[in-house]
Structure 1
């Protein structure tokens, strides 16, 4: 057991050293020669001091991300190899009579352990954001969000675990298929509830207060044939200086939401471009495409997890203190497999997301007919968020669900050149 723990610890440390070396010493975030002097060159809209700070902040943030994910894997492995997971199960069996309460108690203790181990890294991330003036959130507000996260996640997680172990006891060979069938309505239900139940637990949402701007946005929506009565704003300035807007929810609960930081720091033309971008997501049905893609990936993922789970339990069950596939003590193994496969699929899901974001950028520029506002918006996003304009490859692949700021500005420039191409055929009536 000591050898396994030492080996896993060594692998984790070597991985952390590699990530540090890659991000801080070799990660290529330099500006290509072809971009220098253009609007996509960060030197054209950021001071040298801002560039240096953005590089530092981005590297720290990316480092925390890359070492945080395998920390969960290491923790789950330790819980299994040391027999702690089995002991928690035994404690629950002696503490409560009913099996469903034993499972709920096991999930609660496991959730507390995971929260306690990952909390220091989360706290460091919060402090870094404060130090670089990205976060404006008080420690009390941050702690409140952590507590809300826990008490939203715990009951949902408990229900999922109860259903999983019930399915595997009743349908050992096809549990993964039945689990996926239940995932579809459950996911749709959460998507429907999120804008009106979950999101308001963290922030206050209300109709856009600037009625003149709202009229402009609704006129833009009408031009795009989008049924819209309200645009919502959220008081994110209490927590951050960053800018954002997004589309959330499905059906009657679909919302377009603007952060108040965006309203306070951007002019109307830039906000209208952002709205055009979000309307592009709506028109091209990206929310539904993303939801369908998630459900298809989850089907494939559950099938693969079933095969690996069976093999690991069969081969290493005794060493990991697992008595079979239906043993609640095997839950850390299941979580480990889910986390690893989710991380492995991230490059694909991010690539699809970047394609959709690029298409939404294009739609926003076409709808507003204001390419300059798009460029100004991208530049403001980089400055206010201390964003690397051209992040290293691993960051792009595993972290970026949007094209880089440099790519978005270059796309806008390409769009302008295409529109102004003198070789394009004129209309017959000109």
Structure 2
């Protein structure tokens, strides 16, 4: 009866926390980025992109879609095996040492196993990137990046898994401190990621003194956005794609511009940065971190319930057993896949608001559209994704959607429509 009552109490707590998450998401997500009176402009790839550009986009999507879907399928399959069969418990039962050592080794063994299976798909995907002129890496640097990414994931997963097992070994209601810890870890990771993890993959240097830096800092000041620095990332040693982003908050907030983007006209660079200033202006990183932290806390409670449901199928009775590492990792993977579409919905609206901010700040829809066309053709963006791709992968509006929104903005502000 005690366990039943405990699960009921947890269910009530999760319902309450879930309601809080929904409220926070609802209040922080810009569901409408233009005023209600803004005229509708239909997205139309054929209006702004040549038949050759559209055909190249379709071909690139076909070439990269298969390895991407196969990789996703393998991730789900492996997670299902860990959750629904005793495979993980039997494999990790062979490990020896203190419980925390076995837990860390379990994370490492299972991660290496699934990544070894996915490695050929990664090679397939990389070959396509090179065939279409996007990747500039050799196989040594590509492999090193992939190994570093796996290493970061193993470290973070090990911290989470060891913490869960340690709390479960000490507390009956371990999900309560686990939820608090998950929330705190998410906030801490968001703060330190720009200064600890990003330098593992790119070298950064301050944008040198000159007209562009002066104009960007002046624009940030005019926008009322405190920016710690504007940095240039050496992305060209990996890719020809164009990008910029904002990361961190407070003392670690900085705008990062790919060195490949510096080849674009200065007014287009300013528009990209204006978009990033929009993220800083509206606290998108902080809001995303808050939602992520609440989601992590919710996940800790959900993990308690989900483990109870699958523990016998997985061949391990208690989450305090290091052999439960596989179940925990499998449940985390499934949760990540299932939450992805909802995160993309929120992200698309947030990105659209940053686009509107860039237009409000520069009042230059013509250059905005030119910039979107440059980004789409250089990065070989999917100009018309099917429903499945849009749901699973589209964290930004498509280029035709962004261009149509800019034309709507121009009409609304009585400016010439590009």
Scaled by the length of structure 2, the TM-score of the pair is 0.84
Residue 185 of structure 1 pairs with residue 188 of structure 2: no
1:286 to 284, 287, 312: 284
Moved more, 353-362 or 117-126: 117-126
Q: CA separation in 1, counterparts of 2:300 and 2:180?
A: 11
Alignment check: 8 A CA contact 2:137 2:238 kept: yes
Task: Return the alpha-carbon distance in structure 1 between the equivalents of residues 268 and 226 of structure 2.
Answer: 22
Pick the aligned partner of 1:358 from 349, 352, 377: 352
More moved, 271-280 vs 175-184: 175-184
Please give the alpha-carbon distance, in whole angstroms, between the structure 2 residues aligned to 1:348 and 1:75: 23
Equivalent residue for 1:157? 157
Counterpart of 1:75 in structure 2 is 78
Please list, as runs of the form range in 1=range in 2, the aligned pairs for 1:57-206 lying within 5 A after superposition: 57-78=60-81, 83-93=86-96, 96=97, 98-172=98-172, 174-206=173-205
| Residue 31 of structure 2: aligned partner | none
The answer to whether the 8 A contact 1:218-1:229 is kept is no
Q: Per-residue CA shift, 1:64-95, capped at 9, x if unaligned?
A: 333322312322444566644233333213xx
User: Structure 1, residues 171-196: CA drift from partner, whole Å, max 9, x if none?
Assistant: 23x32231121122322222222222
Which one is further off, 102-111 or 158-167? 102-111
- The two structures have a TM-score, normalised by structure 1, of 0.82
Asked if 1:244 corresponds to 2:247, the answer is: no
1:246/1:256 contact within 8 Å kept? yes
Which residue of structure 2 lines up, in the alignment, with residue 417 of structure 1?
411
* Deviation digits for residues 326-375 of structure 1 (CA, Å, limit 9, x no counterpart): 33323222222222222222222111111111111001011011111110
The separation in 1 between residues aligned to 2:372 and 2:358, in whole angstroms, is 13
User: Conserved in 2, the CA contact under 8 Å of 1:80 and 1:330?
Assistant: no
Contact in 2 for aligned 1:77/1:333 (Cα 8 Å):
no
2:373 aligned with 1:379, yes or no?
A: yes
Distance in structure 2 (CA, Å) of the matches to 1:287 and 1:64? 31
* Alpha carbons of structure 1 residues 360 and 405: separation in structure 2 relative to 1, 3 Å: same
**SS where residue 390 of structure 1 aligns?**
coil
Give CA-to-partner distance per residue, 1:134-166, whole Å, 9 cap, x none.
111111111110121122222222221111111
SS for the counterpart of 2:66 is helix
Q: Which runs of 5 or more residues in structure 1 are unaligned?
A: 1-37, 423-430
How many pairs are equivalent?
A: 376
SS in 2 for 1:409: helix
Q: Match of 2:385, SS?
A: coil
Aligned to 2:208: 209
Please say if residues 206 and 232 of structure 2, whose CA atoms lie closer than 8 Å, have aligned partners that are also in contact: yes
Distance 2:171 2:267 in 1: 57
3-state SS of paired residue (2:95):
helix
**Helix, strand or coil for the counterpart of 2:256?**
strand
Q: How far 1:308 moved relative to its partner? A: 1.9
1:385 is displaced (CA, Å) by: 1.1
**2:20 aligned partner:** none
CA drift at 1:39 = 10
What aligned pairs does 1:237-386 form with structure 2 within 5 A after superposition? 237-264=236-263, 266-313=264-311, 317=312, 319-386=313-380
Please give the alpha-carbon distance, in whole angstroms, between the structure 1 residues aligned to 2:197 and 2:297: 25
**CA 40–102 in structure 1, closer or farther in 2 if over 3 Å, else same:** closer
Q: Relative to structure 1, is the Cα distance of residues 401 and 81 closer, same or farther in structure 2, using a 3 angstrom cutoff?
A: closer
Checking the alignment, whether the CA contact within 8 Å between 1:136 and 1:239 is kept in structure 2 is yes
Q: Is the 8 A contact 2:194 2:248 kept in 1?
A: yes
Report if the CA contact (8 A) 1:280-1:359 is conserved: yes
**1:54–1:386 CA contact under 8 A, matched in 2:** yes
**Greater relative contact order (Cα < 8 A, sep 6+):** 2
Structure 1 Cα separation of the partners of residues 134 and 46 of structure 2? 21
Structure 2 residue aligned with 1:218: 217
CA deviation profile, 1:294-339 (whole Å, cap 9, x unmatched): 12222223322321210111xxx1x433243333323222222222
State whether residues 77 and 332 of structure 1, in contact with CA within 8 Å, keep that contact through their aligned partners in structure 2: no
CA distance in 2, matches of 1:92, 1:130: 40
**Using the alignment, how far apart are the partners of 1:296 and 1:99 within structure 2?**
29
CA RMSD of aligned residues (A): 2.2
2:94 partner SS = helix
Deviations 1:21-78 (A, max 9, x none): xxxxxxxxxxxxxxxxx99543344332332121121233333333322312322444
Equivalence map 1:391-406=2 (5 Å) = 391-406=385-400
